[in-house]
Amino acid sequence: MSDNNINQNKNDEIRVIFQDTARKQYEVLLPRNDKLNEVSAEFFDEIYGEPIDEFGTSQRAVAELVDPNNPDNTKRLNGDETLDKLGIWDGAIIRIFPESIAGQGDERRRISALVADHKDIIELKNNNPEIDFIANLSHAPYQYKIIFTKKGIIGLEKDGNTPIYSDHHELEIKLGKNYPGEVPEVKWITPIFHPNISPVEKEVCLGVLGKRYLPGLGLARLVNMLFEMLQYRNYDNDSPYNKDAANWAQKKENQKYITEIGGYKYQDPVETFLKKLEKLSNGNSNKKYIFKPVERQQS
């Protein structure tokens, strides 16, 4: 390798040059401990969009390390490894190009979303001590147990009016094979009394999100939305999953119980809440890296 490999930056970040199939190059500053597939997936999305081959098959990102002394000599890289473990040096050139994968669908996009969601969920947990989670995998998990340690209503006393409370709540979120293009499956595990959660199956009604999910919404915002549901900060009495809870929430005398747990008086159906989410949701919500075009180096 070149002297760059010997004199590589000793800091936690390195400067890497990404190159597309047109040999255009982009400079990006990367943490050494980031996995290559996280960076290459985002570069792939930004440069190639959603490419398909001549057979209509979705394509994934492939990364090759370019030998600076012999540009025609390249080395295929394992995207599951970190940049540091791969031995990527400061100023290294990595070529990214599409590879057709028959029958794989849009798995590359899914993995990229799962990785970004996992990081966002960790950040949400760090910022809110009343939210915790257990994931099924340490990298790109697709199933979560979410734990809320917040006062919420789980039922009613025998008088049919006074709430029964709990400060421990668990729910399960599954991200299917078509995620983020389809809505996650959400199921409450522990007892809950809410207009939009079915009392038996514990299925959570996400309103129009179930019909028109926003891929840019991100899992962390969805979890925060569920956390607010627990507090009756958003609920829909117009199309309830639990009619008893909806009828209870509509009664004026019960508003005091809702406000006591941090909730709000019912105002609008969930469609109004969706409009607020749309303002927050955009295609760049999970973007982490900045790829700056540069004059092409020898490659």
Which residues on adjacent β-strands are paired with residue 76? 64
Which of 104, 125, 143 is the endpoint of a domain? Answer: 104
One domain, residues 209 and 62: no
How many domains, in total, are found in the chain? 2
Which of 104, 120, 140 is the endpoint of a domain? Answer: 104
In a domain, 292, yes or no: no
In a domain, 284, yes or no: no
Which residues on adjacent β-strands are paired with residue 98? 61
Decide if pLDDT at 118 tops 80: yes
In a domain, 219, yes or no: yes
Helices H / strands E in the chain, number of each: 8, 12
One domain, residues 175 and 259: yes
In a domain, 36, yes or no: yes
Torsion angle of alpha carbons 59, 64, 66, 71, nearest 10°?
Answer: -50
Which of 104, 135, 158 is the endpoint of a domain? Answer: 104
One domain, residues 160 and 262: yes
Q: What distance in Å separates the CA atoms of residue 107 and residue 250, rounded to the nearest whole number?
A: 44
One domain, residues 260 and 165: yes
CB 66 within 8 A of CB 20: no
Range of the domain at 53: 14-104
Q: What distance in Å separates the CA atoms of residue 139 and residue 121, rounded to the nearest whole number?
A: 12
Confidence of residue 207 (pLDDT cuts 50, 70, 90): low
Average pLDDT over residues 73-87: 89
Decide if pLDDT at 103 tops 70: no
Q: What distance in Å separates the CA atoms of residue 155 and residue 245, rounded to the nearest whole number?
A: 9
Average pLDDT over residues 281-288: 57
One domain, residues 97 and 124: no
In a domain, 26, yes or no: yes
Question: At 86, which CATH number?
Answer: 3.10.20.90
pTM listed for this prediction: 0.58
Question: At 189, which CATH number?
Answer: 3.10.110.10
Quick one: pLDDT at residue 273?
56
One domain, residues 115 and 252: yes
219-275 residue pLDDT tens: 898 898 899 999 998 787 877 889 999 999 999 999 999 999 999 876 555 556 555
CB 170 within 8 A of CB 146: yes
Confidence of residue 10 (pLDDT cuts 50, 70, 90): very low
Distance set, CA 134 to CA 138, 147, 173, 218, 248 (Å)? 10, 8, 11, 17, 33
One domain, residues 258 and 136: yes
Decide if pLDDT at 154 tops 60: yes
Quick one: pLDDT at residue 283?
47
Confidence of residue 62 (pLDDT cuts 50, 70, 90): confident
One domain, residues 69 and 173: no
In a domain, 56, yes or no: yes
Average pLDDT over residues 129-157: 96
